[in-house]
Each structure stands twice: as structure tokens, then as C-alpha cells.
């Protein structure tokens, strides 16, 4: 009986792209005898353990130029067949095609095996009666020959890691090493420095003045296996920050592409951030949820589906940038001066893998944290008389900042510029919790 030979150059293309191996090709010369098992090692930093689902059993031999040749393909089990066929038929394979050989040939035609399709197959297999084989990262394992779908174990994906799209590997003949790589989102935090009208890692500010903070996330390009993609900013504020304005002031924006900066809104030297999105940015605040903890120390900002917000998968696969801007002024309990400052920290929670359930917390992992800091200052003034340079009590002073506001006796600032202060018995006036910059004293 003649054996049908499968080459699957496109079927293996995803694996070749990720692990640098050669695609399977038609045999050109006599081959070694097939073996019943082959060795595989999964390396990389995606996860510490993996599930391997055998899709097709086959006889596998090594060909020329490190190619592999598979013959006599059959479904690995009835459960695998029943899980895979609905997915393949839904993706366009004719309903009349049901054999392993037909399924493999269809996958090999016109690049049908995409990252999205491999993820759909993995989801179907996970919910079926198909039994996976557990693989430990970096450890060689023996598997029956054939095509195996390698899926990262979501529970083994740690902070700063992310599962890739499932990878189809051909096991048999010589040893196979699958080198998985995954790009992960990044997060950063900045505060608006009014003197420069710029987002910086540190800013000087006056107590109770509006103080704007920016959270920014970069979603890398190439995430093609996701049906939906949601992120959450998790922010922890220092005790010197007032959380009362956070929820009402929060605005969230998204832009396509992983490059291009984070200037989602305009900024002014009045210390305020605009709300109208800049060109290329979309305001998605209505699709997001901000929740401040009862103690006011932390809050979360959860986006809606970024794929939908950007108009579909084609745009999202080029990457995305997300920006959240909110107002959190300094309060009376804030630290003054350079010694401590008032830090504000954020990290980003993002989906563990294309297979993760994004409806709850378990389907997410997180980035390392990033922070920014705000500093208020104290200024002591002494009024001295013209004779003997002695401190002068009872002197009435007008102390104005660069916005034209003047200091009142209770330590607040009068926007109309009419307030004054009077020196004490020691001729001193202390200005507490103010921004750096020019103060005009009259």
C-alpha cells in the first residue's frame, strides 16, 4: 500500500518563525526508518510548564537539510478529532473533509494555520476530553511521533511574562527544541510639571492645587491570537495625595501602534491637562471603569476591549498605546522637601495568554511597577527694618506666586490677588507647601 507523504511547509511556518527550525519538505532521497517516539524540549522564558496536545499521529523521519517528513497521518484520538473538526470547519475547511490527512492538507494550503486559529484549536481542546501531556520548561521529554500543539500553562506564567499563541511542533526523528518568545506590555507613570508644561518623573507642586498624573501602557505588536484584550492600571498613592478627585477626573485614551509617544492630551503652564484627545488618539473613558478603594490608597482603571476600541484585529496587531490621566492634589499630610517626596506608583495587569479568561482576576499577570513623585516646599521670610537690620514685626506683605495668586493668613492662596500676611513678633512669615519658582514679595 502506498503511503501518503505530508510536507506541510506552511503548517510548520509558525514553528519555524519562533524556533528557527526548517520547514518540513517533500523527501528527496532515502530516509531513515521511522521511530515511535521523539524528544522535545521547550525553552524560553514564557512559562515554567506547558500542556502538549497531540493532534495527529504520524510516522516521522528526518529528511535532507534538517527537514522532517510525516506519513500515515491519523487523528490522535476521537476526542481530539471531535474538538478540532468544528474549529477547522468554522475556519473554512469544507465540511466533507474529516480525515487527519485532509485536515493537515487544508491547514497547509494558503497559510490557514494562523496564530488565531491555533488559539481556537487550543481552547476547543482544553474544553474537550482530550488529555494533554505536561512538559516542564528546559526539560527534554519523549512523546509519540506526530504533530503536537504546545500550550503554555497559564498558572505557570509569572510577573513580567506572557503566554504566546500555541505552537504546532512536529515530533519525531531528531530531537526538537521549541524556543518560545513572548513580548509583554510595559507601563510608566509621569506627573505634570506646570513650569515646563511637560510630563516628568518628578514635579514641584503647591498643596491643594490640581496635580495631574499620567499612566501609560504599551501593548507590543504581533499579538495576533487574541479575541479580546483588556488591561488594568493598578495605582497606589502615597499618604500625601488626595484621592477625592481621581474618579471624576479620570480620562482614558488609546492609539494604534506601539511607537509614537504618549501625548494624548494637551498640557498648559497653568498646571492643567486638557481633555480633548490629540490627533490619532481616541477617548475610551466611557468603556472603562475606575474603582477607588475605600481607604483611598489604591485604585484600578480597567479598560474595555482594546481590539474593539481600535477597530479590529488588523489594527491591534500593530500594537497599542493606552493613556490614563487624572487629578490627585497634594494634601495637608504630604511630605515637604526633597527628603521623601510624595510617590505615586503603578503597575499594569494584562492577560496571561490568548487562552486566559479575562472576566476575572485569575486570567491576568502583571508588569513591574513604575512611579513618579511630587514635591512641595517651605519658604521662611524675615522682614527687617532699615535701622539696625532688626526683624520687623507687624509688617504687612503681599506674597504672590507665578499665577498671580497671593498668600492668605490661613496658608491658602487667593486667586484674586488681594490677600496679605502679617509678620510675627520675630518678623517672620512661613510659606508652607508651595511650588518651586518665583515668589514676588511686596
Cα distance between residue 150 and residue 169, in whole Å = 7
pLDDT at 110: 81
The pTM of this model reads 0.85
As to burial, measured by CB atoms within 10 angstroms (0-12 exposed, 13-18 middle, 19+ buried), residue 139 is exposed
pLDDT at 8: 41
pLDDT at 401: 82
**Closest alpha carbon to 190 in 178, 199, 181, 182:** 199
The three cell numbers locating residue 220? 507590543
Divide the 442 residues of the chain into consecutive groups of 10 and give the mean pLDDT of each group: 41 37 35 71 91 96 84 95 97 97 90 92 93 95 96 92 92 93 94 94 92 98 95 96 97 97 93 95 98 94 98 96 97 91 96 94 96 91 82 90 82 85 88 80 88
User: In 241-261, which positions are buried (b, 16+ CB within 10 angstroms) versus exposed (e)?
Assistant: bbbeebeebbbbbbbbebeee
**Helix or strand (DSSP H, E) at 252:** strand 251-256
Residue owning grid cell 522682614: 383
pLDDT at 35: 58
**DSSP letter string, 26-39:** ---S--PPPBSEEE
Answer for the pair 185, 350: CB distance below 8 angstroms, yes or no.
yes
Amino acid at each position: 500500500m502506498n503511503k501518503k507523504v505530508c510536507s506541510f511547509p506552511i503548517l510548520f511556518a509558525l514553528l519555524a518563525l519562533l524556533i528557527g527550525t526548517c520547514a518540513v519538505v517533500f523527501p528527496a532521497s532515502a530516509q531513515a526508518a521511522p521511530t515511535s517516539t521523539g524528544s522535545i524540549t521547550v525553552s524560553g522564558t514564557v512559562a515554567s510548564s506547558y500542556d502538549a496536545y497531540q493532534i495527529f499521529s504520524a510516522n516521522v523521519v528526518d529528511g535532507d537539510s534538517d527537514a522532517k517528513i510525516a506519513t500515515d497521518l491519523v487523528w490522535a484520538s476521537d476526542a481530539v478529532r471531535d474538538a478540532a473538526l468544528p474549529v477547522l470547519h468554522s475556519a473554512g475547511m469544507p465540511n466533507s473533509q474529516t480525515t487527519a490527512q485532509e485536515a493537515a492538507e487544508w491547514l497547509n494550503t494558503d497559510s490557514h494555520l494562523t496564530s488565531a486559529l491555533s488559539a481556537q484549536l487550543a481552547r476547543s481542546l482544553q474544553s474537550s476530553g482530550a488529555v494533554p501531556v505536561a512538559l516542564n520548561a528546559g526539560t527534554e521529554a519523549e512523546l509519540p511521533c506526530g504533530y503536537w500543539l504546545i500550550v503554555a500553562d497559564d498558572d505557570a506564567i509569572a510577573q513580567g511574562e506572557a503566554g504566546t499563541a500555541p505552537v504546532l511542533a512536529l515530533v519525531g526523528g531528531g530531537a526538537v527544541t521549541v524556543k518560545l518568545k513572548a513580548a509583554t506590555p510595559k507601563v510608566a507613570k509621569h506627573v505634570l510639571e506646570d513650569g515646563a508644561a511637560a510630563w516628568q518623573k518628578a514635579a514641584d507642586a503647591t498643596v491643594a492645587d490640581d496635580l495631574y498624573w499620567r499612566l501609560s501602557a504599551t501593548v507590543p505588536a504581533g499579538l495576533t491570537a487574541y479575541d479580546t484584550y483588556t488591561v488594568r492600571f493598578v495605582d497606589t498613592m502615597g499618604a500625601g495625595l488626595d484621592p477625592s478627585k481621581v474618579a471624576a477626573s479620570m480620562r482614558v485614551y488609546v492609539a494604534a501602534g506601539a511607537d509614537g509617544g504618549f501625548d494624548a492630551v494637551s498640557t498648559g503652564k497653568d498646571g492643567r491637562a486638557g481633555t480633548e484627545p490629540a490627533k490619532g488618539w481616541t477617548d475610551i473613558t466611557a468603556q472603562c471603569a475606575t474603582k477607588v478603594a475605600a481607604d483611598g490608597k489604591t485604585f484600578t482603571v480597567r479598560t474595555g476591549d482594546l481590539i474593539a476600541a481600535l477597530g479590529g484585529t488588523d489594527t491591534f496587531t500593530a500594537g497599542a498605546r493606552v493613556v490614563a490621566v487624572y487629578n490627585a492634589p497634594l494634601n495637608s499630610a504630604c511630605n515637604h522637601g526633597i527628603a521623601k517626596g510624595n510617590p505615586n506608583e503603578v503597575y499594569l495587569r494584562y492577560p496571561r495568554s490568548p487562552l486566559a479568561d479575562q472576566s476575572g482576576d485569575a486570567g491576568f499577570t502583571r508588569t513591574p511597577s513604575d512611579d513618579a513623585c511630587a514635591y512641595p516646599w517651605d519658604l521662611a521670610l524675615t522682614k527687617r527694618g532699615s535701622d539696625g537690620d532688626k526683624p520687623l514685626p507687624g509688617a504687612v506683605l503681599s506674597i504672590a506666586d507665578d499665577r498671580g495668586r497671593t498668600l492668605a493668613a490661613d496658608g491658602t492662596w487667593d486667586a484674586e490677588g488681594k490677600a496679605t500676611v502679617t509678620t510675627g513678633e520675630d518678623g517672620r512669615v512661613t510659606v508652607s507647601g508651595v511650588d518651586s519658582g518665583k515668589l514676588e514679595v511686596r
